[in-house]
Every structure is written in structure tokens, then in C-alpha cells.
Amino acid sequence: MPDATNRDPTLSESMGQTLDSLLSRIHSLGATPEETDAGQFEAEKLDSTHSGVAAGSHGGRRPSLSGLSTNAGSLNGDSSPSSEVDVVVKESIQKGPSEREFAPNQSLQSDQLQSSANQPSDLVDGMQDLNGLPISASHRKAVQVPAEAVSVQSCKTQAAGDCVSEDRVQGAIGDDAFVPCRDEPWRPEEPSSAAADGVNETLLEAIVYRFLLSIGEATGREIADQVKLPFLMVQPILNRLKMEQNVAYKSATSTNDYLYVLTSNGRQIARNHSRDCSYFGACPVPLEQYIESVRLQSIEGQYPKRKDLESAFSDLLINSKMLEKLGPAIASGKGMFLFGYPGNGKTSIAERVTQAFGRYIWIPRAVEVSGEVMRLWDPMSHTLEMPEASSGLFDASRFDKRWVRIRRPTIIAGGELTMEMLEVQHNHETSISESPLQLKSNCGTLVVDDFGRQKMRVDELLNRWIVPLEKRYDFLNLASGKKIQVPFDQMVVFSTNLEPKDLVDDAFLRRIPYKIEAENPPESDFRKLFELMCGVVGVPYRSSAIDYLLEKHYKPTGRPMRMCHPRDLLLQVKHYCLYNDLPIELDDRYLDFACENYFSVM
């Protein structure tokens, strides 16, 4: 064997830098070389016959990884220096030596890493040292890697000292790493620790108790999936509950996990928690984190352009004059009054306002305020749009599972709107609170349709929102009596058939800067709308039939043309033909029948 003094200095320096980088990554994940739980890292001195370091130079102590990187420069072998640095990962003792070896540059899946984290040391022959030479089982200890660690790529130390190419790393990680954009300006990062991510461990423990009481038994990973937190954050709580004899192991699983059940004492504790609150869903997010997320995803400051509005209203027929009025109002992100005669598309316009802004936002499933749980995600009001899984070996787009990605919300409240819907609704039986409409519509649009026809008086609604509309924040009262400040960050659209000045006073109108009238369409737009709706409804278009309709049923009586008339009249024609088993066509007789029914009391 060549003398250690003849080692290649370039190779030694490169290997030392690589191991120092790995050690920094380990420490950033919260693991230390002395830890003995999952994620423990240990290193044993290398055989002096292969490393060039005299046996016993460590004084009988196990060297840390930093020491290993210091001595890496003294490694040499019989053959030419290896071009790769490999990290040996400890595997289950049931596997053969060939299964415990990883080819150069082979990445490790997080499930494999977690599976190996709790196994006893299994030292086998056939491993290699950093120079590619065999290491005997008695002179090597495996190095464990936590499940959270990123894939360890072997770094090519070619003659020029170059590392693996960028394309190769990107191929292993995947092309789906999150990049902020207008459609998705922010994404919650996967939590790493309870303290850093504001997890209320007392509340989390109570949720685990309630879940096990409800389901009877569950594995550790099933519990972690229920609370939407990484398993390594939940495992210490389960270990503590086991030491306190409040949970017990029913059996082990094939994935180095356990099936947990409550003990008699644990069931009593769980019943006490259930009497206080019955919630056992995803771990709630602190209110402060939600407020910050609203700031990062706000509609203010986006200033959609003309092309954005044209895309949002592409399925509607809107003349250029109306679009010129809507553009600045939508770009401002402030309140807007849409008024005019019924049937001119006010509600349709209000529903599409949100599409002019970015496509997605993230909201928490539930929010925690001083130990109280308030649900925010509502499947009835929000449209779920979760990101697709990464296509690479590793999921580079990992996110906090306590949050969900939805389409920017458009919440519509009509005549059913009451004052209770604008406050936190607390269920005294379950002790779970439901967030109000304005909180669910943050970063989107809140449409108050048929304004002036609600069960509540108009002045009550105005007094409730007169400050939030100007200050952009609101105050909510919790069941405990505590008052909290929350963002009021949405575009409020009041749609009404009544004249705004007959509904509200000047003080309120001042806080709604844009008042836009949805006017009756001109004849050219009316004809164009008939042509478009014929294709939608499935009735062949005939221009002479529209001439007949206007000359007989509109102009003689001075009947105003409305945007809804083409659709409603064509549907009546179609239903008449289907009922009488007639060919569907735009015949003058069918139009007479439709107008007689439709305008009989109008």
C-alpha cells in the first residue's frame, strides 16, 4: 500500500469539504452526532491500514463527522484515487449485504431513510472506505441519515475538481420545485420543529388523544397524517405518552412503526379533552401565521391589466365601454357598486372579478387563537386545487400539509345574509368555531347579491362594515370573550337592482369608490348575444328570426332589451320543440309562443 504521505492533496481537500458540508446539513436539521434516537449520526474510526491514521489515535473515543472530515485527507489506496464520495446508510439486519450497499450517486428515498433510522447497528463486510477500498466490519460504523434530509448526491471529484452537473441534480430533485409567480405568490414550507413553526404542543397532544379515542387504534404515521405534520414532529409526543403509560404498543408494523392504542388512563384523559372540544383534525395554524399569509397573497398591489380582464370575461359579451369602467375598479382592489336593471349580468360580472387576479392562494385548514380552534377551510365555499406531486426522485415542492391550496375565493351571499354570518359562529356542543364570510373570502371577492333585500336591515350591514371597508381590517369576538383583529382583504362587490343613493347615505358611498351601472345592451350587442347563445343552447341560428322578434315584440311596445333575454327565450323555444317532438329550430311561431309566456306579466 502506498504511504499516506503520498496521498493526492486535491482529492483530500475535496473530500474534506464534502464531509464538512454534510455535517453542516445534519446540524441544520437539528441532529447531533451524539443523539441516539431516529436521526442519530455515528462514525467510527477507519481501519489504520486503509486510512493512514494510526489505530488508537482517537484515544478509544468515537470520532465525530467533523473529525472524520479532518482525517479524510489522509485516506489513500492501492489503486488510483476514487472519483466519488459515498455515504453508507445503515439498513435493516434482515437484508443481505448487497441490499445494504448503494451504488455511486444513488439517492435515498425518505421512507428508506426513516426505515433505517431505528435499526440497530449492522456492520457487514463488503463496504468501502472513502477511497473505494474495502472496510472490515470491525472497523466501521454505519451513518444514519434522518428522513428529512435531502438526497445525498455523490460528488464527482474529477481531475479538474468539478462536481456533478446542475442538470443531473435537477433530474434527481425534479422540475417541480416551487417558484413564486402571479398565479401562486406564496407557498407554506414544510415545518421542521414545533417551536420554529408555532405548533401548540398542548393542543396537538389533545388532538392525538381525541383521534385515538375516536378511531380506536392507529399507527404513528396515520396519526401524523391526521394532524398533517411530519412524523418526526409527532413521534416525540407519542414516545412521551408511551413513557407516561397513556398509550401502548398493540403491535409493530413492517415499516418500523407501531400500532398505538390508549390505555385505561389514556382513555380517561381523552374523554376529558373531548368534553372540552371535539376537534381532532389538522393541527391548527397560529393566527399570526395566517395574517402574514394574507399579506403575502393580497389582491392589493397586483393591478390586473386589460389582458387579464379580457381573459376573465372571455365567456361573457361585454362591450368596450363597460370594460373601461370595470378595469380601474377591479385593479384598485377596493369596493364596487354594480347597479342596474335585473337581467343585465351584474351577478355574472361579480362572479368573474376574482379571475382577473392570481389563480391560487393557500389557507390553513384551521386557525388557533389562544387555544381555541376556528375552522377556515370550507368545502362548500372553497374550490380545492392541490399541487401535483413532484416528478423527480425526491419531492422538492414539499409544503405544510396543514394548509390547502384553493382557487382565489368568490363568496356570494344573497337574500339569506344575516348578521350572524358576519361573526364567529361558535358551536357550544363541539366547542369548534366557524369563521365568518369575510374571513373566508380574504384574498378574493365577496359578493353581496340583491343588496337591500337581505333579512337584516341595510343600515345594520353598513354600520358593521363601514370601518373595515376603509381600514382593511376587522375585529371579531370569540366565544371566550376575547376580541381579535383580522385582515379584511377582499374586494367587496355590492350588486343591486335598486338605486344606490336610495339605499345608503353619502358616508358609506364614499367608502365604495366605484359605482358602475350595468346598462341595457344596444341592438348590435343584443343580436350578437342571440348568435352566441344559439350555439350554447343548441338551436340553429337564423338572423331573419331575430328581425321578426325585434319588429313584433320589442319595438312596437318599447320593451327594453336585456342581456338575459336571448338565453331565456331560446330555452323556451327548445323546450317547446322537445315537448311537441318537433325539429329544434328558430321558427317565428315558436318565438311567438316563447314571448307570450315570458312577457305575460312583464
Strands 473-477 and 247-252: unpaired
- If you classify domain 201-283 with CATH, what class do you get? mainly alpha
Lowest-pLDDT range of 5-19, 74-88, 476-490? 74-88
When pLDDT is cut at 50, 70 and 90, the band that residue 502 belongs to is confident
Percentage of the chain lying above the pLDDT 90 cut: 54
Q: In sequence order, what E strands does 208-310 have?
A: 217-219, 247-252, 258-262, 285-286
Q: Is 60 left (phi over 0), alpha (psi -120 to 50) or beta?
A: left
Amino acid identity, position 287: L
The CA-based angle 366-372-378, given to 5 degrees, is 25
pLDDT of 9 strictly over 90: no
134 vs 299, residue with greater confidence: 299
Alpha-helical runs (H) found in 174-230? 201-215, 220-227
Grid coordinates standing for 497? 337592482
15 vs 338, residue with greater confidence: 338
Please report the pLDDT score of residue 159 as a whole number. Answer: 36
Tens digit of each residue's pLDDT (9 = 90 or more) over 309-335 = 999 998 888 888 899 999 999 998 888
Tens digit of each residue's pLDDT (9 = 90 or more) over 122-175 = 333 334 443 343 433 333 333 333 433 333 333 333 333 344 444 444 444 445
Please report the pLDDT score of residue 552 as a whole number. Answer: 94
When pLDDT is cut at 50, 70 and 90, the band that residue 602 belongs to is low
Mean pLDDT taken over the chain: 77
Strands 366-369 and 285-286: parallel
- Decide: pTM greater than 0.85: no
Please report the pLDDT score of residue 461 as a whole number. Answer: 87
Contact 79, 54 (CB under 8 A): no
Would you tell me how many other CB atoms lie within 10 Å of the CB of residue 230? 19
370/284 Cα distance (integer angstroms): 11
Packing angle of the helix pair 201-215, 264-276 (nearest 10 deg): 110
| Partners of 259 in the β-ladder | 219, 251
**Architecture in CATH of 289-518:** 3-Layer(aba) Sandwich (3.40)
Sequence-distant contacts of 594-599: CB under 8 A, at least 24 apart: 594/569, 595/549, 595/553, 595/569, 597/572, 598/565, 598/568, 598/569, 598/572, 599/553, 599/559
602 vs 160, residue with greater confidence: 602
Residues 6+ apart with CB under 8 A from 241: 205, 208, 247, 266
Percentage of the chain lying above the pLDDT 70 cut: 69
Amino acid identity, position 442: N
574 vs 72, residue with greater confidence: 574
Strands 247-252 and 336-340: unpaired
Residue 404, classed as helix, strand or coil, is strand
Query: Alpha-carbon dihedral of residues 422, 304, 451, 602, nearest 10 degrees?
Result: -150
Tens digit of each residue's pLDDT (9 = 90 or more) over 240-273 = 999 999 999 999 999 899 999 999 999 999 999 9
446/490 Cα distance (integer angstroms): 7
Domain boundaries, given as residue ranges, for the chain:
4-164, 201-283, 289-518, 523-598
Please report the pLDDT score of residue 530 as a whole number. Answer: 95
Where b means 16+ CB within 10 Å and e means fewer, 425-449 reads ebeeeebbbbbbbbbbbbbbbbbbb
Please report the pLDDT score of residue 440 as a whole number. Answer: 97
pLDDT of 483 strictly over 90: yes
129 vs 552, residue with greater confidence: 552
Contact 65, 43 (CB under 8 A): yes
Tens digit of each residue's pLDDT (9 = 90 or more) over 172-200 = 444 557 889 989 999 999 999 998 899 99
Tens digit of each residue's pLDDT (9 = 90 or more) over 464-480 = 988 898 899 999 999 99
